[in-house]
Structure 1
């Protein structure tokens, strides 16, 4: 009897800055009876941090899930590395994109180091290469000191950093991060966005859902402002973050002021106290 050996997925070649790693064309997504995304066109390029911003319920996480091929379109197309998302096998996808969900829960008592090592599962690497990737990811997210602790014993912010370390250890050219800073303190919010910029500088594409518009303005190369399932504006933070656009989308008057040193837009609610 002849046994056919299963094809081992091959990691993609390193992208060139500007390469399109993910794209949506006329994307519509329904969740139950509700149309959450309504004709979204978006391009994700290597070498950039793209921030998805907008009010609650605007469709940010759903769009991220569609880009990850985790949420199927009702209409339109999602392309990953130039191919329809549905054409990729799960092992091939795992070598091309890494996904950080909003929350991470585990039912078994894995240690921090074991959770981070899960990111190496798609790779056919040597144990030494896996060790190096895991150690680098843990150091970057500052979780090395509690490598032996159970994941379940960590605080919310510590869990978020460990989950990000797992994504970094996966070493894919496309990172899709859903609110990675939500549970973090001031220092670690900045740390995470610096890591995003570093990965983009190295040639990867990073898509990050954030609610803090100041963080998006400081670290994103481009932002997509979502409202009611559509992209209301897309461009650089300076182009998108106008007082009128943000006030209209959020239903809250805001002021946009230049940072006194960097000129980066600072967005604050208008308060008449």
Structure 2
């Protein structure tokens, strides 16, 4: 007798402004240590939400909780309107794609094989689009020329772009990116944030952990500023980035200035 494999249905297309993920009064502990204290944040289709704050503020922990990779001690995380724990792993893989801080592999997979791993959730649903999705993701992240090279032979920045290509190839409507620009040069930092904006324009929701406040100000629709496991402010960069707040949060004098040509927000340490 042949056993039929359960095929989770793909998510319905989101409308701009739809809530694709949210944390409500979220408390998270790592071991016995409390890390997040009553955090509430909403992630909407069509927006780039940047999580910023000093080291240890809880940014990566919040991202992992929104991905349903960390359990809540208190409060709730919802993904596409349902508590995160109500989704099966295959269902989650069709709804959210996660880029961790570091990418490492134990075997010498070629770059194209690594990117193709992002298509695994669609194997039982819609495998026909794999080749196109992989090719488009590699082109967008400028790694096509590395297609046959071993992932292990790449530089740190090249690996980071291949890892992002894998996430893009997954084509989930919720993208959760943890410090995607950390290993990149100036050109590719800009490229990654432009891709975040493009995915938001296409209707996805993007959450990105950033240390560069200038990038957050330039590309995020909203920023959530975390301090000691709590949200100190949440809103458009022009509204929540201020000298006083950022100086307090980072314990470092900061200036927020208008760009002399465009008037957009610039953030720089006061030296």
TM-score, normalized by the shorter chain, greater than 0.5: yes
Report the counterpart of residue 157 of structure 2 in structure 1.
157
What is the SS of the residue equivalent to 1:115? helix
Give the 5 Å matches for 1:108-257. 108-123=107-122, 124=124, 128-257=128-257
In structure 1, C-alpha distance between the alignment counterparts of 2:113 and 2:143, rounded to whole Å: 12
Q: Structure 1, residues 188-209: CA drift from partner, whole Å, max 9, x if none?
A: 0000000000000000000000
Deviation at 1:242, TM superposition (A): 0.2
Q: How far does residue 45 in structure 1 lie from its aligned partner after superposition?
A: 0.2
Partner of 1:75: 74
CA distance in 2: counterparts of 1:269 and 1:126, whole angstroms: 49
**3-state SS of paired residue (2:246):** helix
- Cα RMSD over matched residues? 1.1
Q: Describe the superposition over 1:239-263 as per-residue Cα deviations: whole angstroms up to 9, x where unpaired.
A: 1100000000000011111011222
CA distance in 2, matches of 1:148, 1:35: 44
1:60 paired with 2:59, answer yes
| Superposition deviation, residue 128 in structure 1 | 4.6
User: 3-state SS of the aligned residue for 2:121?
Assistant: coil
Deviation of the 1:14 alpha carbon: 1.1
Unaligned regions of 5+ residues in structure 2, if any?
Answer: none
Query: 1:74-113 residue pairs with structure 2 within 5 A?
Result: 74-113=73-112
Which residue matches 1:21?
20
1:7 aligns with 6
C-alpha displacement of 1:103: 0.2
Aligned to 1:73, what secondary structure does the other structure show? coil
Show structure 1 runs of 5+ residues with no match: none
Give the distance between the partners of 2:77 and 2:209, measured in 1 at CA: 18
Deviations 1:95-153 (A, max 9, x none): 00000000000001100000000000000366551000000000000000010000000
CA drift at 1:6: 3.2
Q: Aligned partners of 1:189 and 1:264: how far apart in 2?
A: 18
* Correspondence 1:39 to 2:45: no
Cα deviation for residue 52 of structure 1 reads: 0.1
What TM-score do you get using the length of structure 1 for normalisation? 0.97
Distance 1:18 1:3 in 2: 43
